[in-house]
């Protein structure tokens, strides 16, 4: 015990000269003051959120420094005037100046960054629209990603999700993300209601509203998946798109027990619309008197039975109130459908289009391929004429096909005009969006497609047409609100079999987004993420394995030679 | 500039005259060979792999934590131990020229060793068509990463006359700088951002993806320049301490 007391006494004796020495206190205060000023200044300029705190740190630092000077002006002078003091001060000033320059330079580039995406398909470049949405976030949003580590199947998806979320976070300080192992942190997984992995739960941190995104058959997550989930979590109101039933249209085909889908179903199409943040509902005209007022758009997909008069009236009434309709009619539709669209001066042909110059291989010319390289999409000059030189509207319509390089329409018909342009009243405007080539024709004999000048009609033909009208063609004056319609002379291209072929999905989803006036969505289409595989046979694998050791062997051999020479 | 070139060439000659250089280089290439085989070369369990360099360049950053201090440990430590540092400091060469000369020499050594791994790219290109954009950006990133770690290594070398101590100090600083982002991931808010921005690893991910961000380039160059400046300050302090 005495030993300890002696020790304490000794320590006290050692410390006493310092504690009682004013010079010591002066130096201590000066150093603390200088450090506080530096720390406060850096924080003040870099971290806006703690500006007030940083200012108080600067003031405290200045007070401490002043106190240090007042306690012992002599030692303060000595610090700055002594030989070591002078050099030390110079070095300190140089260090502070240099580090400040480095911090400022880095801060400048953090705030004014430039990113170059060198991937072939610009995988890591978010669309302008996504950037706009993220940078305008008003409330903080967090993505809670649940992945099981070291699961080879989830690993690729995790990298893909991490890359995308990283890009999101780089564009806004209000967006953050975190990865959690749901098996290790079950409490958090339960809190977010995660029952299957991988899953990413978007959370509006101000309201706590959640919106999950689950993996779909180990397909990579897309920018669009995340934007949609983010918007929903933030309370973005979903628009409703209806697709009609009751006229033997194409419909959903998923078997609820086996989860299997058929080629002729429209399941992928409906999923695509949902990914675009739409609430997609079916509608049977027998059960309604009019199209619900919340309809952002209505789709009619390949009806094969007649359109009853009552249903036709419901449609006309909807269009008359500024309705937005996409008609996907196959060639030779029931006459009642052609009668309906003939109100706007067009019909769908009875025969399919044969196009030897641009058609899908193996389709007997009967699957026209619309390619940008063939100038088969509407040129800007025609659009300007259509919109009356309204550049923003021209741009919006153009955005439907802007990013499309090729789409095809299996067994497509042609959209024919039943009224000459000169006779068309000014309140009904139409424009051809995609056309077949000049040597295409309407084929009567689909078993043996061959142009017959006596019976076949020569193209080019419109396969997609937009109509904007304020009344039917038989009316001389506008009688409706401005309605917008898109007519496709084919419905097969949206079926499960063809939906993800070429850019078929993009053109129909873009069209619906245009009809529903969601121009932002059009620019957030999923990008192609090519998997550049390395596939080798056994012999090549062995070659790769051993030949890749050549640099190591050469380096090692050189070390032996050098050692031998110097020995 | 002439002085820098002279010092650089002298250091390079000294380095490559020693078998140690080839042993360190050999170890580095041996490990990258291992990474290449486990991540890129298709095996029984993974018959199809992706033809990119991400698989072997990402773990290579970990190697730099050890190899950069090993390359730089002798630069100042040995001079001080042999007593030639006084001679160098009193010669008509500026302190920053000495530091830059030695630093450039170590950079040339590191890049030349790293370029040997480009042989793997040639092998990949024979059997597939890799996306050359991300491939080149990954190499740019690893070079910048190396440049930053060498700056730390040069600084550590100036702290002690014992090469082992210098290497250990360098490794410790690099370990701290490399894994600060892991610390950042555990916390939220501004401290997390600060930790991430300071961490060496945090800035490398973009390069392997194929994204060249000016922020990351500036960060690596800044890290190297800060530690080189510290080294100059350490040398200057010898004069008046």
Residue A551 with chain B: CB contacts under 8 Å: 29, 33, 116-117, 119
Q: Which residues between 1 and 40 in chain A have a beta carbon less than 8 angstroms from any beta carbon of chain B?
A: none
Residue B116 with chain A: CB contacts under 8 Å: 551, 555
Q: What is the pLDDT of residue A528?
A: 58
Which pLDDT band holds residue A131 (cuts at 50, 70, 90)? confident
Q: What is the pLDDT of residue A24?
A: 74
Q: Do B226 and A114 touch (CB under 8 A)?
A: no
The answer, for B118 touching chain A at a CB cutoff of 8 Å, is no
Same domain, A358 and A375: yes
Q: What is the pLDDT of residue A406?
A: 86
Q: What is the pLDDT of residue A217?
A: 61
Residue B22 with chain A: CB contacts under 8 Å: 555-556, 558-559, 562
Same domain, A414 and A299: yes
The answer, for B130 touching chain A at a CB cutoff of 8 Å, is yes
Selecting from B120, B128, B211 the residue whose C-beta is nearest the C-beta of A548 gives B120
Q: What span, in angstroms and rounded, lies between the C-alpha atoms of A509 and A516? A: 10
Same domain, A351 and A426: yes
Q: Which residues between 49 and 78 in chain A have a beta carbon less than 8 angstroms from any beta carbon of chain B?
A: 49-50
Q: What is the pLDDT of residue A174?
A: 87
* Non-local CB neighbours of B174 within 8 Å, separated by 6+ positions: B64, B65, B68, B69, B149, B152, B153, B200
* Start-end of H helices in B116-188: 118-127, 132-157, 163-186
Same domain, A246 and A228: no
Closest CA to A196 of A211, A209, A214: A214
Residue B236 with chain A: CB contacts under 8 Å: 91
In a domain? residue A94: no
Give me the CATH number covering residue A447. Answer: 3.40.50.880
The answer, for A111 touching chain B at a CB cutoff of 8 Å, is no
For A359, the domain range is: 239-522
Q: Do B119 and A550 touch (CB under 8 A)?
A: yes
Q: Is residue A25 within 8 Å of A32, Cβ to Cβ?
A: no
Q: Is residue B15 within 8 Å of B7, Cβ to Cβ?
A: no
Q: What is the pLDDT of residue B48?
A: 67
Same domain, A227 and A245: no
Domain count for chain A: 4
Which chain B residue lies closest to A160 (C-alpha atoms)? B209
- Domain boundary among the residues A61, A81, A101 is at A81
The answer, for B44 touching chain A at a CB cutoff of 8 Å, is no
Residue B197 with chain A: CB contacts under 8 Å: 106, 110
pLDDT at A329 over 60: yes
Q: Do A99 and B226 touch (CB under 8 A)?
A: yes
Q: Quick one: DSSP state of residue A28?
A: H
Selecting from B17, B188, B210 the residue whose C-beta is nearest the C-beta of A117 gives B210
Q: What is the pLDDT of residue A150?
A: 67
Same domain, A378 and A447: yes
Residue A180 with chain B: CB contacts under 8 Å: none
Residue B183: both structure tokens together: 């610390």
pLDDT at A440 over 60: yes
- Domain boundary among the residues A185, A201, A233 is at A233
Residue A48 with chain B: CB contacts under 8 Å: none
Which pLDDT band holds residue A484 (cuts at 50, 70, 90)? very high
Q: How large is the ipTM?
A: 0.86
Closest CA to B49 of A459, A104, A541: A541
Q: What span, in angstroms and rounded, lies between the C-alpha atoms of A178 and A186? A: 15
Q: Do B51 and A532 touch (CB under 8 A)?
A: yes
Q: What span, in angstroms and rounded, lies between the C-alpha atoms of A10 and A312? A: 104
Same domain, A553 and A515: no
Same domain, A26 and A61: yes
Most B CBs within 10 Å: which of A95, A104, A551, A564, as the mutation test of the B interface?
A551
Q: Do B137 and A118 touch (CB under 8 A)?
A: yes
Strand locations in A103-163, DSSP E? 115-117, 141-146
In a domain? residue A336: yes
SS (H, E, C) B58-71: HHHHHHHHHHHHHH
Q: Which residues of chain B have pLDDT under 70?
A: 44-48, 187-190, 240-241
Selecting from A124, A548, A555 the residue whose C-beta is nearest the C-beta of B36 gives A548
The answer, for A193 touching chain B at a CB cutoff of 8 Å, is no
Other beta carbons within 10 Å of A448 = 8
Residue A531 with chain B: CB contacts under 8 Å: 50
- Domain boundary among the residues A190, A210, A233 is at A233
Give the 3-state secondary structure of residue A324.
Answer: strand
Q: What span, in angstroms and rounded, lies between the C-alpha atoms of A365 and A265? A: 24
Residue A327: both structure tokens together: 């008609």
- Average pLDDT over chain A reads 84
Q: What span, in angstroms and rounded, lies between the C-alpha atoms of B225 and B148? A: 8
Nearest-CA distance A538 → chain B (Å): 9
Q: Do B17 and A566 touch (CB under 8 A)?
A: yes
pTM of the model: 0.61
Same domain, A210 and A273: no
Selecting from A99, A533, A550 the residue whose C-beta is nearest the C-beta of B128 gives A533
In a domain? residue A527: no
Q: Do A563 and B19 touch (CB under 8 A)?
A: yes
Same domain, A479 and A368: yes
Residue B133 with chain A: CB contacts under 8 Å: 117-120
The answer, for B122 touching chain A at a CB cutoff of 8 Å, is no
Residue at token pair 């979320």? A165
Most B CBs within 10 Å: which of A552, A553, A560, as the mutation test of the B interface?
A552
Which chain B residue lies closest to A99 (C-alpha atoms)? B226
Pairs across A and B, CB distance < 8 A = 158
Same domain, A452 and A367: yes
Most A CBs within 10 Å: which of B13, B16, B17, B29, as the mutation test of the A interface?
B29
Residue B42 with chain A: CB contacts under 8 Å: 534-536, 541
Same domain, A440 and A505: yes
In a domain? residue A72: yes
Q: What is the pLDDT of residue A91?
A: 82
Nearest-CA distance B24 → chain A (Å): 9
pLDDT (tens digit, 9 = 90+) per residue, A85-127?
A: 777 778 888 888 888 899 889 888 887 778 888 888 777 788 7
The answer, for B17 touching chain A at a CB cutoff of 8 Å, is yes
Q: What is the pLDDT of residue A444?
A: 84
The answer, for A550 touching chain B at a CB cutoff of 8 Å, is yes
The answer, for A80 touching chain B at a CB cutoff of 8 Å, is no
CA A68, distance to chain mean position in Å, is 58
Give the CB-side neighbour count of residue A3, counting CA atoms within 13 A.
0
Which chain A residue lies closest to B137 (C-alpha atoms)? A118
């Amino acid at each position: 015990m005495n030993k300890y007391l002696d020790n304490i006494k000794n320590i006290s004796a050692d410390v006493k000269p310092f504690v009682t020495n004013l010079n010591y206190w002066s130096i201590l205060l000066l150093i603390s003051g200088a450090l506080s000023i530096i720390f406060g200044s850096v924080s003040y300029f870099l971290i806006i959120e703690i500006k007030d705190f940083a200012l108080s740190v600067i003031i405290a630092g200045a007070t401490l420094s002043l106190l240090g000077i007042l306690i012992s002006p002599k030692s303060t002078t000595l610090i700055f005037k002594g030989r070591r003091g002078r050099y030390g001060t110079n070095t300190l000033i140089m260090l502070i100046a240099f580090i400040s320059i480095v911090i400022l330079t880095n801060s400048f580039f953090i705030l004014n960054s430039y990113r170059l995406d060198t991937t072939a398909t610009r995988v890591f470049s978010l669309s302008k629209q996504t950037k706009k949405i993220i940078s305008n976030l008003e409330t903080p949003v967090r993505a809670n990603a649940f992945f099981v580590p070291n699961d080879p199947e989830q690993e690729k998806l995790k990298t893909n999700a991490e890359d995308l979320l990283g890009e999101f976070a780089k564009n806004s300080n209000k967006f953050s993300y975190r990865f959690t192992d749901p098996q290790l942190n079950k409490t958090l997984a339960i809190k977010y209601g995660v029952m299957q992995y991988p899953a990413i739960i978007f959370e509006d941190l101000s309201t706590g509203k959640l919106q999950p995104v689950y993996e779909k058959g180990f397909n990579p997550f897309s920018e669009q998946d995340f934007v949609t989930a983010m918007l929903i979590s933030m309370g973005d109101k979903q628009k409703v798109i209806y697709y009609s039933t009751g006229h033997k249209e194409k419909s959903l085909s998923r078997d609820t027990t086996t989860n299997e889908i058929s080629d002729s179903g429209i399941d992928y199409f409906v999923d695509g619309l949902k990914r675009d943040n739409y609430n997609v509902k079916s509608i049977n005209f027998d059960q309604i008197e009019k199209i619900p007022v919340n309809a952002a758009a209505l789709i009619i997909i390949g009806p094969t039975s007649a359109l009853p008069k009552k249903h036709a009236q419901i449609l006309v009434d909807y269009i008359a109130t500024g309705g937005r309709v996409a008609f996907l009619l196959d060639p030779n539709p029931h006459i009642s459908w052609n009668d309906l669209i003939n109100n706007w001066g067009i019909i769908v042909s009875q025969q399919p289009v044969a196009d030897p110059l641009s058609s899908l291989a193996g389709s007997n010319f009967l699957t026209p391929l619309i390619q940008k390289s063939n100038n088969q999409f509407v040129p800007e000059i025609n659009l300007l004429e259509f919109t009356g030189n309204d550049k923003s509207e021209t741009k919006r319509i153009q955005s439907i096909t802007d990013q499309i390089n090729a789409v095809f329409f299996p067994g497509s018909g042609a959209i024919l005009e039943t009224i000459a342009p000169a006779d068309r009243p000014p309140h009904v405007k139409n424009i051809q969006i995609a056309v077949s080539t000049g040597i295409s024709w309407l084929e009567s004999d689909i078993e043996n497609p061959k142009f017959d000048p006596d019976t076949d009609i020569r193209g080019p033909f419109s396969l997609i047409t937009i109509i904007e009208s304020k009344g039917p063609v038989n009316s001389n004056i506008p009688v409706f609100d401005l309605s917008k319609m898109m007519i496709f002379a084919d419905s097969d291209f949206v079926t499960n079999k063809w939906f993800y072929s070429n850019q078929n999905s993009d053109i129909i989803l873009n069209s619906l987004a245009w009809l529903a006036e969601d121009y932002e969505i059009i620019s957030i289409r999923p990008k192609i993420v090519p998997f550049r595989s390395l596939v080798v046979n056994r012999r090549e694998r062995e070659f790769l394995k051993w030949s890749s050791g050549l640099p190591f062997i050469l380096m090692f051999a050189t070390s032996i030679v050098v050692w031998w020479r110097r020995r | 500039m002439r002085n820098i070139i002279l010092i650089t060439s002298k250091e390079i000659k000294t380095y490559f005259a020693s078998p140690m250089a080839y042993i360190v280089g050999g170890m580095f290439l041996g490990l990258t060979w291992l990474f290449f085989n486990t991540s890129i070369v298709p095996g029984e369990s993974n018959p199809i792999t992706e033809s990119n360099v991400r698989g072997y360049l990402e773990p290579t950053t970990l190697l730099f934590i050890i190899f950069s201090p090993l390359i730089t440990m002798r630069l100042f430590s040995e001079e001080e131990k042999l007593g030639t540092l006084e001679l160098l400091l009193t010669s008509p060469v500026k302190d920053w020229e000495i530091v830059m000369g030695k630093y450039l020499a170590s950079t040339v050594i590191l890049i030349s060793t790293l370029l040997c791994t480009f042989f793997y790219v040639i092998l990949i290109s024979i059997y597939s068509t890799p996306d050359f954009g991300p491939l080149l950006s990954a190499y740019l990133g690893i070079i910048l990463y190396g440049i930053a770690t060498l700056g730390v290594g040069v600084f550590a070398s100036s702290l002690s006359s014992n090469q082992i101590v210098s290497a250990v100090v360098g490794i410790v600083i690099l370990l701290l700088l490399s894994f600060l982002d892991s610390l950042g991931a555990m916390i939220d808010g501004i401290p997390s951002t600060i930790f991430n921005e300071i961490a060496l690893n945090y800035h490398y991910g973009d390069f392997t993806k194929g994204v060249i961000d000016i922020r990351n380039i500036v960060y690596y160059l800044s890290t190297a320049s800060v530690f080189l400046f510290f080294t100059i300050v350490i040398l200057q302090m010898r004069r008046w301490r």
